[in-house]
Amino acid sequence: MMSYEILLLLHPTIVTEPGKVEEVKLGLARQYGGDSKIHQNIVDKFTLDEESDRLADEYDIVYYLAPEEAFLKKIPTKTLELIVKILKPNGEFMGCLPRESKIDAIMAGFITEDTKWIKPTPKVEGVALLKKKDESFGAKTVLKLPKFKKLSSPKLSSPASDSASVEQTEQHEQSLLPNFKKLSSPTLTDTSDLDDDTDSFSNKQSKLVFFTNDGDENEDEDEELLDENELLIADAGSDDLPSGFNSKPLIVPVECRLSNGKKRRKACKDCTCGLKEKEEADELKQRSIQDQVLGTLAKSATAEAIKIEERIKRKQESTKGKIVKFNESEITEIDFTIEGKTGGCGSCALGDAFRCDGCPYLGLPAFKPGQQITIFEDDF
Amino acid sequence: MTRSIVILYGSETGNSQDLAYLLARKCERLRFQTVVCSLDDFDLKKLLDIKILIIICSTTGQGELPRNARSFWKFMLRKKLPLDLLEHLYFTTFGLGDSSYPQFNYAAKKIHRRLLQLGAIEISNRAESDEQAPDGIEGFYMEWEKVLISNLNQKFPLPENLKEIPISELLPARNSLTIHTTKFKKLIDTKDSLNRSDNTLITGQILHNERMTSDDHFQDVRNVLIKSNSDLQLHYKPGDTVALYPSNDPRDVQTLLDSQGWDNIADFPLSIQGDLPKVEGGLLQKLTLRSLITYHLDIVSIPKRSFFLNAWYFASDEREREKLLEFSKIEGTQELYDYANRPRRSILETILEFFSLKIPVDYILEIFPILKPRLFSISSKPNDSTVELTVAIVEYKTMLRKIRRGICTRWLKKLKAGDNLVFHIREQNLQIGKPSVNVPLIMIAPGTGIAPIKSLIETKIQTNPNIELYLFTGNRYHDKDFLYGELWNSLLHEGKLTKLFSSFSREGKGGYVQEILYKEKALLNDLISNRNAIIYLCGSSGKMPNQVRITFTTIFEECNEDVDNEKANQMLLEMENQGRYIQETW
């Protein structure tokens, strides 16, 4: 008979029940043969024990003995990983297998079955083949071919099979193999066989049906439509849709301080802080500065302006018989040929995009020094 | 699989459309092929073939989808659409809205929700932009685009062999414009402007265009009467609007042609190849460069960031290039605001300042936004041959020397009796205009908000002579701008108007319309709570609608025993949902 290396892991509190421990040890010895060595350790000491570092692939069996309450508590992930490590390939972890730890066990590398968790051999992926055993500790298992059990059906129903075997499996209510579960839908559908392309193609074809009516006016009228106002009602946490029904819009905060540290210089439409009034005052101030600038320059151009006015007056009279009057602010020709009219920075001529904040020419169009500018105030 | 993105827009005034094209350009730099069109223009069958869908949609009317999204929406609402219809699709939405409306961004909200319902996967956060926010729609857009691009790059990274096209590289023009210099020149006149590719346009004639406000009043408000030239009858209801198609001042067009050196090619026949952006009202049948600019390009609107993003390549002077590029960047937002938005500088004025900016003709449609129609509420009682408009001419001063003018009202102001024009009637589906509605009406109409209300009052007097009509007007001076004041007084006298409450903000004790509302709280509360009255508020957006809302919730609170502030707000919301509180502000 083969000799097994067995590690008996004890929950710290189980030491208060020495009888239990002996009972289990005897059972293990009976099952796995007298030559098998049973090592014993307390589970938390085991996890912290540095010696564990040396013990990869050592044990065939790890048995975790714990009181009933421990079944409801998770085994720490670190412990699980350690157990995987110390087990030989195909080695089994059994005893207290908390349901809550099942996912962690899978993540740690176990193949999980109801009565034991198996460390896979490196080649085997996914399904562990049923091991043929004459006996197993505790439950009576029936030798059977692998069976996939549908989650949605609680009973295994196969009218063709032997009634006796049906009875036996019902008795155990255990699936002998891992259950494949599709995360996003409750029913089990094994789609691995379907070719991806054909699947989405036929999917698309079936959906096209919904689009074929859009040329038909009558069809359109008969269509039953949703109440669109229902789309506006906020769902208090709808869990049905993976992406979440309550899609929140992006928040774009309004900062009074800009990223470059300057204070926001733009008034909101509903400005209540007085910035709007200040902006308006600035504009008035700028206009009066412009008036001064233009006034000074226009004085020298007045003669020119008078000539232009008369010219236009004559034209108007001939075409309309109506005299239209222009005052100086309506048609202004500015002669910038006068020397020294640029400011200190030299950018005055360039247009507002390049002028300084306090430039008196702000608001006036760009000009080439020497160029005559017309500002047309139209409409009469 | 092709690397492609479909961008669909639902646009009423063209803003959503502009953003859609802006996004497309950004995606093209990431080597995506793009398809851009309105929701209604898209063959919905293709939804099954595509991988990534972006929808940019504004909200109009009372929380409705824009006109060019309605048949899309009708399809989407079909009950029998399966819940996995769009499970292959990645998507997100960008909504354009205005927070002075209670139905803020309803259209985008609804679209987004429905797409999720049908199984589509959200690839990036949606956004609800607000016209009233300090940075406006643009501020929201930039943030949303940033997040979207980052998510796109994560989910659909560039393949190994391709790199992003840098900003420094110009993308090929979407269209090409051919000027047929071998053909004869065409000088386009107004008659030609009536002949456009949209055959639903109505040709009309101005019967009169008269100033209503006194000559010494600062604001010029016009009463414009237009008659239809065709034998086809006009059909409209109170609340409906007229879409007018303004054109640029010929002198401005000439200035632009001169600055770009286009004068000698401006009058030859022009043809356009490539995917044309949608032009409301259709293009002129006879196109030349001059007529294209005059009738279809908005050369005096304020340049947006996208203008600078497209234009900077074409400035040969290094310093000018740099400055234009600066304005196009997110970091340059404040500078751009100070330069363009605050003084309301026009694209034309901007071009004139950047002397070295020379735009290739092929890029014209990308640099200049398409000229959009302007909508005005009809103020006449429906009849089959004429529409009457009540229009405030937009003129104001900013820091810029040259006076600012609204392009449409500037054009409208010049129209004289006998002039011809094209227009559309746009239905607005205002329910309270129906004869079946015979509860008391509370109508609040400061300024030119009076326009649709005048149509409503005149209609109701005829169809429901017994219903109670309560009118609250708001103007500045009794003798200067009390619009239709004489009409209200005579209707009041005849007993056809139940009550008239007028306020004049700049004379006597002053006061705004909401103050009068508050003064009449007992009456209003009775009408609303006991008589099922409907409220119709029209006027300019911004502060006023909010103030009026607050006034009503205050009235509810003060006049009803067990109503606190929260309950009062709820009451108002309920009224809105039932269509008993209708707001039309612009």
Angle between helices B136-155 and B15-29 (to 10 degrees): 30
Of the partner residues A245, A286, A364, the one whose CB lies closest to the CB of residue B116? A245
Of A88, A109, A141, the residue that ends a domain is: A141
Asked if A209 is an interface residue toward chain B (Cβ–Cβ < 8 A), one would say: no
Are residue B140 and residue B206 in the same domain, yes or no?
no
**A182 within a domain of the structure (yes/no):** no
Residue A174 has pLDDT above 60, yes or no: no
- Reported residue count of chain B is 586
Instruction: Using alpha carbons, select from B204, B199, B245 the residue that is nearest to residue B419.
Output: B204
B70 in A contact zone (CB under 8 Å): no
CB A172 within 8 A of CB A138: no
pLDDT, residue A330, reads 42
| Integer angstrom CA distances of residue A351 from A292, A368, B233, B338, B412 | 18, 10, 52, 13, 31
In this predicted structure, the answer to whether residue A333 has a pLDDT above a threshold of 50 is no
Please report whether residue A10 resides in a domain: yes
Contact B533, B579 (CB under 8 A): no
pLDDT of residue B91: 97
Place B415 in a pLDDT band, splitting at 50, 70 and 90: very high
Please identify, among B392, B408, B429, the residue that sits at the C-terminal boundary of a domain: B429
The answer to whether residue A214 sits within a structural domain is no
Interface mutation vs chain B, best among A199, A204, A220, A247, most B CBs within 10 Å: A247
- CB-CB: which of B133, B352, B401 is closest to A363? B401
Looking at this protein, which amino acid is placed at residue B192? D
Residue A135 lies in a domain: yes
Residue in A with minimal Cα distance to B64 = A228
Residue of B nearest to A282 (CA): B399
B85 and A210 in contact by Cβ < 8 A? Answer: yes
Q: What is the pLDDT of residues B26-70, one digit of tens each?
A: 999 999 999 999 999 999 989 998 999 999 999 987 788 999 999
Query: For residue B182, is it within any domain?
Result: no
- pLDDT at residue A367 tops 60: yes
d(C-alpha B149, C-alpha B156), whole Å: 10
Closest CA to B537 of B586, B480, B485: B586
Per the structure, the complete domain to which residue A36 belongs is given by 5-141
CA distance A228 to B113: 10
Residue A378, pLDDT above cutoff 60? no
Examine the domain organization and report whether B296 and B314 are in the same domain.
yes
Distance from C-alpha of A95 to C-alpha of B162, rounded to nearest angstrom? 57
In a domain, B170, yes or no: no
Q: Which residue of A has its CA nearest to B544?
A: A270
Residue A157 has pLDDT above 60, yes or no: no
For A95-109, A169-183, A189-203, which range has the lowest pLDDT when averaged over its residues? A169-183
Do A211 and B44 count as a contact with CB atoms less than 8 A apart? yes
Mean pLDDT of the residues in chain A: 65
Q: Regarding predicted confidence, which is higher, B441 or B134?
A: B441
Mean pLDDT of all residues belonging to chain B: 92
Residue A282's pLDDT band, with cuts at 50, 70 and 90, is confident
Give chain A positions within 8 Å (CB) of B122.
243, 247
Distance CA B204, CA B210 (A): 17
The structural domain count of chain B equals 4
User: A89, A111, A141 — which closes off a domain?
Assistant: A141
Residues of A in contact with B400 (CB under 8 A): 363
Ligand-binding annotation for A96, yes or no, is no
Q: What is the pLDDT of residue B100?
A: 80
Q: Mind listing the pLDDT tens digit for each residue in B479-490?
A: 999 999 999 999
Instruction: Read off the pLDDT of each residue in B117-135 and give the average, rounded to a whole number.
Output: 90
Start-end of H helices in A12-154:
18-32, 43-48, 77-86, 102-108
Residue B366 lies in a domain: yes
What's the CATH number where A24 sits? 3.40.50.11000
The pLDDT of A171-191, averaged and rounded, is 37
Indicate whether B303 and B336 sit together in one domain: yes
- pLDDT tens for each residue of A47-104: 766 555 667 888 899 999 988 777 777 888 888 888 888 899 889 999 888 877 887 7
Q: What is the pTM of this model?
A: 0.70
Q: Is A142 on the interface with B (CB under 8 A)?
A: no
- Confirm or deny that B474 is annotated as ligand binding: no
| A103 occurs within a structural domain | yes
Is residue B496 pLDDT above 80, yes or no?
A: yes
Which residue does chain A place closest to B104, by CA atoms?
A: A232
- For residue B297, being part of any structural domain is answered with yes
For residue B171, being part of any structural domain is answered with no
Query: Are A365 and B349 within 8 A, CB to CB?
Result: yes
Question: Does a structural domain hold residue A98?
Answer: yes
Any idea what the CATH number is for the domain that residue B329 is in? 1.20.990.10
Chain B residues with CB under 8 Å of A329 CB are: none
pLDDT of the residue at A280: 78
- Please report the pLDDT score of residue A316 as a whole number: 60
Whether B136 and B72 share a structural domain = yes
Is a pLDDT exceeding 70 seen at residue A144? no
Q: What is the CATH number of the domain that holds B138?
A: 3.40.50.360
For residue B363, report the phi and psi dihedrals to the nearest 5 degrees: -95, 5
Backbone dihedral angles phi then psi of residue A91, each to the nearest 5 degrees: -70, 160
Helix axes B250-260, B289-296, angle to 10 degrees: 130
Residues B144 and B267 in one domain: no
Beta carbons of B343 and A352 less than 8 Å apart: yes
pLDDT band at A279 (very low <50, low <70, confident <90, very high): confident
- What is the average per-residue pLDDT within B285-307? 94
Of A318 and B579, more confident: B579
Distances from the Cα of B110 to the Cαs of A236, A248, B116, B376, in angstroms? 17, 13, 10, 27
Q: Which residue has the higher pLDDT, B367 or B401?
A: B367
Q: What is the pLDDT of residues B1-14, one digit of tens each?
A: 578 999 999 998 88
Out of A225, A375, A376, closest to residue B77 by CB:
A225
**In this predicted structure, what is the pLDDT of residue B38?**
94
Do the Cβ atoms of A214 and B44 come within 8 Å? yes
**Could you tell me if B286 and B418 lie in one domain?**
no
Interface contact B128-A249, CB threshold 8 A: yes
- Window 302-321 of A: residues touching B by CB (8 A cutoff) are none
Go through B305-318 and write b for each residue having 16 or more CB atoms within 10 A of its CB, e for each that does not.
bbbbbbbbbbbeee
What is the domain-level CATH number for residue B418?
2.40.30.10
Q: Tell me if chain A has a CB within 8 Å of the CB of B345.
A: yes
On whether any CB of chain A is under 8 Å from the CB of B144, the answer is yes
Residues B514, B395 share a domain: no
The answer to whether residue A239 is domain-embedded is no
My answer on whether B407 and B453 are in the same domain is no
Pick A149 or B424 by higher pLDDT.
B424
Contact B116 A286 (CB under 8 A): no
Q: Which domain covers residue B573, as residue numbers?
A: 432-585
Give B562 to chain A, closest Cα distance, Å.
26
Smallest CA–CA distance, residue B496 to chain A, in Å, is 37
- Grade residue A217 by pLDDT with cuts at 50, 70 and 90: low
In a domain, B175, yes or no: no
Verify that B556 and B484 share a domain, yes or no. Answer: yes
- Give the pLDDT mean for A157-182: 38
Q: Inter-chain contact A269–B542, Cβ cutoff 8 Å?
A: yes
> Where does residue B236 rank: exposed (0-12), middle (13-18), buried (19+ CB within 10 A)?
buried
Q: What is the pLDDT of residue B112?
A: 95
Per-residue pLDDT band at B439 (split at 50, 70, 90): very high
- When CB atoms are compared, the residue of A245, A252, A363 closest to B139 is A252
B261 and B238 in a common domain: no
Q: Is A247 on the interface with B (CB under 8 A)?
A: yes
State how far the Cα of B515 lies from the Cα of B519, in Å rounded to an integer.
Answer: 6
Minimal Cα distance from A205: which residue of B?
B48
Residue B402 backbone class (left: φ over 0; alpha: ψ -120 to 50; beta: rest) = beta
The minimal CB distance from B110 to the residues A231, A378, A379 is found for A231
B82:A229 CB<8 A: no
Q: Is A356 annotated as a binding residue?
A: yes
pLDDT tens digit sequence for B199-254 = 999 999 999 999 999 999 989 999 999 999 988 899 999 999 999 999 999 999 99
User: Is B408 assigned a ligand-binding role in the annotation?
Assistant: yes
CB contact under 8 A, A249 and B400: no
CA distance B5 to B52: 5
Per-residue pLDDT band at A16 (split at 50, 70, 90): confident
Q: Sort out which chain B residues have CB atoms less than 8 A from A290's CB and list them.
A: 401
Contacts of A224 in chain B (CB under 8 A): 78-80
| Domain shared by B77 and B50, yes or no | yes
What letter represents residue A24's amino acid?
A: V
Nearest to B127 among A210, A232, A250 (CB): A250
**Range in A119-123, A295-299, B168-172, B261-265 with the lowest mean pLDDT:** A295-299
User: Is residue B230 located within the same domain as residue B377?
Assistant: yes
Number of domains, chain A = 2
Domain membership of residue A73 (yes or no) is yes
Higher pLDDT pick, B166 / A260: B166
Per-residue pLDDT, B299: 96
Which of the listed residues A141, A164, A197 is the one where a domain comes to its end?
Answer: A141
Q: Inform me whether the pLDDT recorded for A173 exceeds 50.
A: no
Q: Please classify residue A274 by burial: count the beta carbons closer than 10 Å to its beta carbon, then call 0-12 exposed, 13-18 middle and 19+ buried.
A: exposed
Decide if A377 and B403 are in contact by the 8 Å CB cutoff: yes
Degrees (nearest 5) of the Cα angle B371, B374, B376? 175
